[in-house]
Structure 1
Amino acid sequence: MKRAIDKPQMFYSIVAFLALAFLKIVEVKPNRIAGGEKYTAYALIGFPVLILLGGFVAMAVVSLSPSRRKSLMSIICGALLFVLLMFLMGRKAEALSEGSPAIRVSLSMGFYIVLVMLYLLFGHAIKGKDRTSRIIKMIAALVITAVIVMIYMGSFDTFSIMKEYQIKRNQFIGSVRTHLFLSLGSVLAGALIAIPLGYLAYRKKNLERAVMVPLSIVETIPSLSLFGILLVPLAGLGRIGFFRSLGISGIGWAPAFVALTLYTLLPIGRNTLVGFISVSRDVIEAAMGMGMNKSQIFRKIEFPLALPIIITGVRIALVQTIGGAVLAGLVGGGGLGTFVFLGLGEGSPDLVLLGVIPIIFLTLTMDGILKSVIQRIGRRK
């Protein structure tokens, strides 16, 4: 019997093995500014790294197995390997910093490649709605919980990114709140505008171009150019007492919020239009034959059937906006982009990561939540 080789799993396992075996995983620096010495996994951890390497070899071998549970076995192995790697790195980093609190440990390319390969492995293994997929999601949650516990216990206090966080903790918390406000608020505002516009384009075919073309044009305007366009009108509004009390001006949160809202209009409006168009005419005619009026057809037939596609548009807009909100840092709008641009200006990669990592986490979390909502609505049809 020919074995079904899981080629993605084999590829991810081999690349992770090579990265861990030959690339540098950390850089130990005497302080924030000076360059440091880079270490491979073996140079940093020592003999236990052979266990990690053996685990990735085992995952590659398992990919050759015809067993249907090879994905689950590989995920369990990968989760254990990652938690063990983080534990060993934290312990060794603490040992290196003893007697010199200024020492910082920065993560290097080898670690990031291993992390990305394990992430891709998890994503490859999560398929469908079967029991194995749910178990894998639980394992992923346990891994995240284990890392959070290690962070809480101070295992990574020597790492440069944690030192940056400790220095800027209050600013970081405020920036996360601002980023969420800009992202979620602009998508909500965009949905309140774009969904009615999309429905209008559906109901009035002669208005479709008049509605969609301007939204498409807005989408093509570069972010910085749009900030410049908004500068003058928002500065004018800021001179009025009511708007000034809200903090509206040519710079700050207002131009960022307006720009992000404008960028959400096309994906939400287009998906709204497509969602209503996708509702079968036969279903609508059947509802009319049952005596439903237009309002009832909209509430009970058209909108529920179009809702998954509309939410897909919201999902696209939200993912786009969480990343786009980084540019708010350029106009004094706050958010996590502040750390990104501050880190770029100071030549501090770890400060950049302090802004980037929460953005990635927020993006994946919000995308997963909306994906689950769409699937749940789809099952109710």
Structure 2
Amino acid sequence: MNKIKDKTLLLLSSIGAAAFIFMNLLEHKPNRISGGIKYSSFEFFGKLSVVLIILWLALIGLSFYRKKHKNIIVFTLTTILTLVLFLALQLKTGDYTEGVTSARISLSFGFYLQIFSVYMLFSTYTQKIKEHKYIKWIGFLSIFGMLSYFIFTGAFNDLSLMKEYNIKKSQFIYNLRIHAILTLASVLTGAIIAIPLGFLAYSKKKFEDKVMIPLSIIETIPSISLFGILLVPLSGLGELAFFDAFGVSGIGWAPAYIALTLYTLLPIGRNTLTGFYSVEQNVIEAAKGMGMSKTQILKKIELPLAFPVIFTGIRIAFIQTIGGAVLAGLVGGGGMGTFVFLGLGEASSDLILLGVIPIVFFTVLLDYILRTFEKTMRGVIYD
């Protein structure tokens, strides 16, 4: 009996295959509010399901073998699986909605679990491909190109998610922009406040606990409670003409912006402190021996060497804030949380996903970009 060579591959491909076989793929509804008929992958895809299950089983089989180019094979099969899955979805939806403009196709948990498995396979095995890296670009571009083509040509318009988007397109774009502004403004403000606080805690040891303990306490306050704490003072400020001109009040953008900024202080401040502590004392002593002043040591040695760790804190704050900004919708601050809470109120899972999917997408994208920049920066500084 063959021993398992790759437990990660076995786990992820088994989850995807189990979702394909045992869970509902989607639900066909005659309209937005009516209940519908649920279909499994086999029922909906018909003959095309044979191709998909063969690909899932092939991935499971590869977990028992250790081949020279196994990582490339896994990545290629995952790419083909993704392309076939979306192509089959696009081909079949029209058969169920043809001639009925109010009909909707709502994707179910089985579909999203398959997509999750595919994403995890991509993220795991792209990192393992050391040779023939062009294959990764071919895979990514082929999937991105096909999905872009389907979306912009309206091939997915029968999906309930796309119907919700088309109905609320202007609101979607507006709230996406608000979400981005809230995230960027909060992190930048947090960095302006937290980096000096972190340096103060490093340079004056007696202030370390006085700085870090309050930041840790702020992090433990639940978001709803923090909004409640901010409600009274911001309502008072809103009565003043100056603050009222900027729209400051107990609800809206102001409490969301302040709360999100406060939550960025700990990761940035803690990493700033850690970054300065990571600078070796031998380097600092050598600089002192060369006659450099404290200001010169800070600018030319400590800050450049500590910055990669500080930037890690900024990256963590960005990722944390993109998700946290959903709560801005709870206090009328806008953002993608508007759709999440509206969907909860209307019991519409597709409306919830309209708010959640862009957040997940941009979180993954931004994390990848910032990690790449961080690695490049570390290589430049330490090499």
TM range (shorter): over 0.9
Give, in angstroms, the shift of residue 39 of structure 1.
0.8
What per-residue deviation string (whole Å, max 9, x for no partner) do you get for residues 52-87 of structure 1? 111111222223332232121111111111111111
**Match in the other structure for 1:85:** 85
1:62 aligns with 2:62: yes
List structure 1 runs of 4+ shifted beyond 6 angstroms.
none
Shift of 1:138: 5.2
Partner of 2:155: helix, strand, or coil?
Answer: coil
Deviations 1:334-355 (A, max 9, x none): 0000000000000000000000
TM value normalised by structure 2:
0.95
Give the C-alpha shift of residue 133 in structure 1: 6.0
Note if contact 1:3-1:66 (Cα within 8 Å) is conserved in structure 2: no
CA distance in 1, matches of 2:24, 2:84: 18
Distance (Å, rounded) in 2 between the aligned partners of 1:174 and 1:292 = 51
Match of 2:45 in 1: 45
Q: In structure 2, what is the Cα distance between the partners aligned to 1:129 and 1:67?
A: 13
- Asked if the contact 2:231/2:251 (under 8 Å) is kept, the reply is yes
Residues 5-51 of structure 1, C-alpha deviations (whole Å, 9 max, x = no match): 11211222222222212321010000000110011112111111101
Distance 1:129 1:285, change over 3 A: farther
Gap regions ≥5 residues in structure 1: none
Aligned to 2:16: 16
2:191 maps to what in 1?
191
Q: What is the correspondence of 1:258-337 to structure 2 with a 5 Å cutoff?
A: 258-337=258-337
| 1:335 aligned partner, one-letter code | G
What code does the residue aligned with 1:263 have? Y
SS of the residue corresponding to residue 27 of structure 1 reads strand
Output the CA distance in 2 between the equivalents of 1:4 and 1:286: 53
SS for the counterpart of 1:28 is: strand
Corresponding residue for 1:241?
241
User: Secondary structure at 1:106's aligned position in 2?
Assistant: strand
Q: 1:317 to 1:79 in 2, by over 3 A?
A: same
The residue that corresponds to 2:342 in the other structure is 342
Conservation of the 8 A alpha-carbon contact between 2:319 and 2:363:
yes
Q: Which amino acid aligns with 1:239?
A: E
Distance of 2:134 and 2:262 partners within structure 1: 37
CA distance in 1, matches of 2:211, 2:130: 42
In the TM superposition, residue 291 of structure 1 has moved relative to its aligned partner by 2.2
| Paired position in structure 1 for 2:256 | 256
Q: CA deviation at 1:277?
A: 0.6
Residue equivalent to 1:371: 371
SS at match of 1:26: strand
Note if contact 2:71-2:129 (Cα within 8 Å) is conserved in structure 1: no
RMSD between aligned residues:
1.6
* Contact 1:122-1:136 within 8 A present in 2 as well: no
- For the residue of structure 1 that corresponds to 2:38, the secondary structure is strand
1:67 is paired with a residue whose SS is coil
For the residues of structure 2 that align with 1:143 and 1:61, how far apart are their CA atoms?
A: 24
- Paired residue total: 380
Question: Partners in 2 of 1:6 and 1:247 — Cα distance?
Answer: 56
Whether 2:200 is the aligned partner of 1:203: answer no
3-state secondary structure, aligned to 1:321? helix
Cα distance change on mapping 1:137 and 1:259 into 2, 3 Å: farther
Amino acid in the other structure paired with 1:182: L
- SS, match of residue 101 in structure 1: coil
How big is the shift at 1:141?
4.3
Determine the C-alpha separation between the residues in 2 that align with 1:3 and 1:133: 29
Which region of structure 1 is more displaced relative to structure 2, 65-74 or 367-376?
65-74
Contact 1:189 1:261 in 2 (8 A): yes
- For residue 5 of structure 1, give the secondary structure of its aligned residue in structure 2: coil
Distance 1:254 1:55 in 2: 50
**What CA distance in whole angstroms lies between the structure 1 residues aligned with 2:89 and 2:362?**
25
Residue 71 of structure 1 contacts residue 125 of structure 1 at CA under 8 Å; is this kept in 2? Answer: yes
Letter of the 1:188 partner, please give it.
L
Change (3 A) 1:296 1:142: farther
**1:142 Cα deviation after fit:** 3.3
AA aligned opposite 1:299? K
Q: Is the 1:125–1:133 Cα contact (8 Å) retained in structure 2? A: no
- The whole-number CA distance in structure 2 between the counterparts of 1:231 and 1:134 is 53
Cα distance in 2 for residues equivalent to 1:141 and 1:264:
34
Q: 1:266 Cα shift?
A: 0.7
Identity rate of aligned residues, in percent? 50
* 8-17 or 282-291, which deviates more: 8-17
Q: 1:138 to 1:292 in 2, by over 3 A?
A: farther
- Equivalent position amino acid for 1:244 in 2: D
**Counterparts in 2 of 1:305 and 1:135: CA distance versus 1, 3 Å:** farther
Alignment of 1:141-156 (within 5 A): 141-156=141-156
Please give the per-residue CA displacement for 1:155-187, whole angstroms capped at 9, x wherever unaligned. Answer: 110000000000000000000000011111100
Q: How far off its partner does 1:137 sit?
A: 5.6
* Aligned counterparts of 2:131 and 2:301: Cα–Cα separation in 1: 33
